[in-house]
Amino acid sequence: MIANNRVFNFPQTPIGWYAYSKEICPPGTSGAGKPQASTRCSNRNTPPSFQEPRELQCGQTLTDIQQNLNGSADLETLAASAQMLTSQPENLTAEEVTTAAQIADTLLSSENVSQSVREAAVATVSQILNTNPSDNIQENNATLRLTQTLSSLSVNLSLISNDSKLVQPNIVVQSAQISAADTQGVQFTALSGTSGSFVADRIQLDTNTSAIAVETGFVADAVVYLQFPPGGSAGRLQTPSNVSVGFVLYQNDHFFHSRRYRRRRASVRVLSANVSGLEPQQVQMLFRPMLLNGTSLWDFSCVFWNYSLEDWSVAGCWKGNASDGVLQCFCNHTTNFAALWSFRENYKYVEALDVISIVGLSFSILGLVVTIIHHITDNFKRNSGDWKNYRNSQLALQSTCFSLLAFIITFLSGVTNRRQDAGDDDALLDTETNGVLDSDEHVAADSGPCSGVTALLHFFLLATFMWNSMYATQLVLLVRKMRQNLPPYWTKLSTTIGWGVPAVVMAITLGITYRVDDPLGYRQEEFCWLAALDKSKDFDFGKPMFWGFLLPIGLILIYNIVLLVLVSQTTCRTDPALKSSNPRSVWRNFLISFSLAVLLGLSWTLGYLVLVTTGYAHLVLSILFCLCTTTQGLQIFVLFTARKPSFRAGVLQLVQTISSVNIQLREFSYNLLREWTHSTESYRELTV
């Protein structure tokens, strides 16, 4: 299109909306990046077409426009300029939003402006509704005054303009004159659309209806029905013949900054209904909440905006039914209404462990139990009851096995979160109590053992890795330093570090992130483990999973790898058998290093690779990680117990003992049977 001998290009635009030119203001101007021109798609002609474009002076600011409102400047140009300067609401500051709201308020308050000025001003309002809510007091005051102006405009628009409906993507202003003698009720309806924004052909007004009705095949996002007194009532006879009604529908509640209702992710529509000259008998409303993916409705409240309190209030309003995703509200007065609602996450709870995991962990439990029992008995025999020497030589290994055993048992018995309030969400919805909600997000208070299980799993797994490090450090002291005994302080030091450090990390994590009324800052809901993801299901480095587990475990694994290399180098260098090509010696030293790697939990490094890989590699590493970690207890048994000659001798002795007992039992059974047979024959002879 051409304006002032300049060519502008505009995108395809719905009827009634404004389009902005692809040409933008150059850098170095106050309007840099803003569109240079705007136009409106109008259906006043057939076919619909763009109106004459308005061009922006790129050096102009919102403050300049506000200062010129009371002068002799062309209001249509100023309104269009303000609209273009707010066309990128995400970049507006709080001061600019305040100024824009004041400009729109001034333009819409005047009865002598043209319809195009009102249309541009309403478009400006629609755009600043897309700005992020702010705690700026001046901005909040300006937008609240603007809502009052819009309410007044909705009542008077049909009196001062031929076009009684203004529709922009985020706001609708509708006005009508009705006959007080004939009207039973008035219904304003906003039908759902594919884009989620308001368009003119989906806004309907029925000026005489006896009840709420939505056309078959259509879905309504918001409906308000004003029910008037019966025609023969005294109140009706005292009213004028014509009554003005007005409606304003806001796409969100950004102009209604509440201190009581904390809105984080929900979008709440606000619907204003106003009548001049007649008080409705009742106001009935329907709201369809815009639920987020993966959520369901938890509760709602029917409220109105109290300008005296500057907050939502429930006075004179009550709840109706809530079915098919539609919230029903009633009030006995007219003003700005809303249905505040709260949602709950639809968690996909993990199912019970599969057979392979249970079998692998069960074998690990058996292997760890046998390992613990064998090493206790073996050390008492070998050291003749020298308990102090036993503590120094085997404390790290026994503590590692015990903490890993405790972790596996706790994991098997409690990692699956058994949700306490699972059931039909509709049955849980409260339609009786109507009070202003505190938040749009419902988080159930902690109940059940899940948080306790999370803390135990966190502690025992950290303890397992910490004792791994103690074992590796112990080997370095003995092997690298060629020492026969550990330092006398080693038992107390290793015990303090092995159990104390995990306890401190667990306690700090629990104390910082856990709250009884919001346990999900500490743990996950799907299963009992540390919280790791944000609301978008992306990994969050601020969650306890990272700094309370992955970070300390990563540091421990790096430390263990370094110690493994040192021990392996020392073993290979000091073994004279390695000077030859004896394969048994090479195999023995490989088993030493591999056994130490298993005990140090180095298979858990695969878990870090799982986090950073995708596709086929991610699948393969996930399978390897699961196999290695679920059978770690069994691996420790095979490498540290089953290979020991003393264990094999003990097993052989046990087999021989069982065989001997079996032989004795067979002889005893044979003798018992022979005696019974003899007694039976003797009894028969006596009876004969």
Nearest in space to 379 (alpha carbons), one of 644, 25, 673? 644
Cβ burial of 450 (10 Å; 0-12, 13-18, 19+) is: buried
Quote the pLDDT of residue 338.
93
So what's the pLDDT on residue 402? 92
- What's CA 155's distance to the chain center, in Å? 42
Nearest to 329 by CA among 272, 270, 284, 299: 284
CA distance 10 to 654: 90
What pLDDT does 388 receive?
54
C-alpha 354, offset from chain centre: 27
The type of residue at 610 is V
Measured distance CA(618)–CA(655) in Å, rounded? 45
| Nearest residue to 170 via CA among 214, 201, 124 | 124
Strand, coil or helix: 165 = strand
pLDDT at 229: 81
What whole-number distance in Å separates Cα of residue 203 and Cα of residue 338? 18
Tokens matching residue 111? 């009865």
Both tokens assigned to 609: 């690779």
Residue 520 CA to residue 532 CA, distance in Å, equals 10
Q: Please give the structure tokens belonging to residue 404.
A: 């890993």
Of 243, 331, 345, 332, nearest to 287 (Cα)? 331
Q: Are 268 and 336 in contact (CB under 8 A)?
A: no
Q: At what angle do helices 75-85 and 115-128 cross, to 10 degrees?
A: 20
Is the pLDDT higher at 681 or at 332? 332
27 pLDDT tier (thresholds 50, 70, 90): very high
**Separation of alpha carbons 417 and 405, rounded Å:** 21
Mean pLDDT, to the nearest integer, of 670-685?
Answer: 68
Residue 406 has pLDDT above 50, yes or no: yes
Query: How many beta carbons lie within 10 A of that of residue 413, not counting itself?
Result: 10
Q: In one letter, which amino acid is 77?
A: T
Do residues 266 and 343 touch, judged by C-beta distance below 8 A? yes
For the chain, the maximum distance between any two Cα atoms, rounded to a whole number of angstroms, is 142
Q: What is the pLDDT of residue 309?
A: 92
> How far apart, in whole angstroms, are the C-alpha atoms of residue 58 and residue 36?
7
Higher pLDDT, 660 or 31: 31
Return contacts of 206-209, CB within 8 angstroms, 24+ apart.
207/176, 207/178, 207/183, 207/245, 208/178, 208/182, 208/183, 208/184, 209/184, 209/185
Q: Where are the beta strands (DSSP E) in 12-120?
A: 18-20, 37-42, 49-50, 54-55
> Does residue 475 register a pLDDT over 50?
yes
Which residue, chain included where needed, has tokens 């405009």? 153
Q: What is the pLDDT of residue 683?
A: 54
Place of tokens 């806001």: 250
Q: What mean pLDDT do residues 232-258 have?
A: 76
Q: Is the pLDDT of residue 595 over 70?
A: no
The 10s digit of each residue's pLDDT in 387-404 is 554 555 578 888 988 998
- Min mean pLDDT across 333-337, 453-457, 482-486, 592-596 is at 592-596
Residue 566 has pLDDT above 70, yes or no: yes
Question: Which tokens hold the place of 670?
Answer: 């044979």
Q: Which tens digits make up the pLDDT trace of 188-211?
A: 999 987 677 898 889 999 988 888
pLDDT at 42: 84
Write out 25-39 in H/E/C secondary structure.
CCCCCCCCCCECEEE
- Mean pLDDT on 300-305: 94
3-class secondary structure, 331: strand
Does residue 154 surpass a pLDDT of 90? yes
φ, ψ of residue 15 in degrees (nearest 5): -60, 135
Other CB atoms within a 10 A radius of the CB of residue 110 amount to 13
pLDDT at 239 over 60: no
* Residue 422: per-residue pLDDT: 47
- Residue 466 and residue 560: Cα distance in Å, rounded? 10
Helix ranges (DSSP H) in 129-194: 137-160
**Assigned token pair, 592:** 């030493």
CB 48 within 8 A of CB 42: yes
Give the amino acid at 158.
S
Residue % of the chain over a pLDDT of 90 = 35
pLDDT in tens, 263-287: 877 789 999 999 987 888 899 999 9
